Amino acid sequence: MAAMNARKCLTIAIGLSTVTVASNGLTRFSYSLLMPEMKASLHWSFAVSGCPQHGQCSGVLRGRGRWAALGDRQGALVSTIAGLLSALSVLATGIPTEVWSL
């Protein structure tokens, strides 16, 4: 019976991981469609308009490694509140129109 529960947990974990991978892939694809418009309207080069994407990717890699440890140490509520504050801070970085003000 324990093997069945482990198998079910593994199936759920793989399903949730697949959803995360698919949503990140779609986000990166749609961002690449926006890059030419950002280049034209904000007068950014492709290198400068790629900087927010690079920051997002490196933040995701660092954050995922630390979030599980935070949840284990502090509990789900603290982890959820920290995630909400993190999301709001990322939202606030979208307000400026000049990349150098970030």
DSSP string, 62-96: HHHHHHHHHHHHH-HHHHHHHHHHHHHHHHHTTS-
Tokens of 67: 């979030």
pLDDT at 45: 82
Query: Could you say which residues of the chain have pLDDT below 70?
Result: 1-4, 96-102
pTM of the model: 0.41
* φ, ψ (nearest 5 deg) of residue 79: -65, -40
From residue 14, how far is each of 8, 20, 21, 62 by CA, in Å?
10, 10, 10, 21
What does the pLDDT read at residue 97?
64
What is the predicted pLDDT for the residue at 96? 64
pLDDT in the model for residue 98: 65
pLDDT at residue 4, as a whole number: 64
How far apart CA 52 and CA 50 sit, in angstroms, is 6
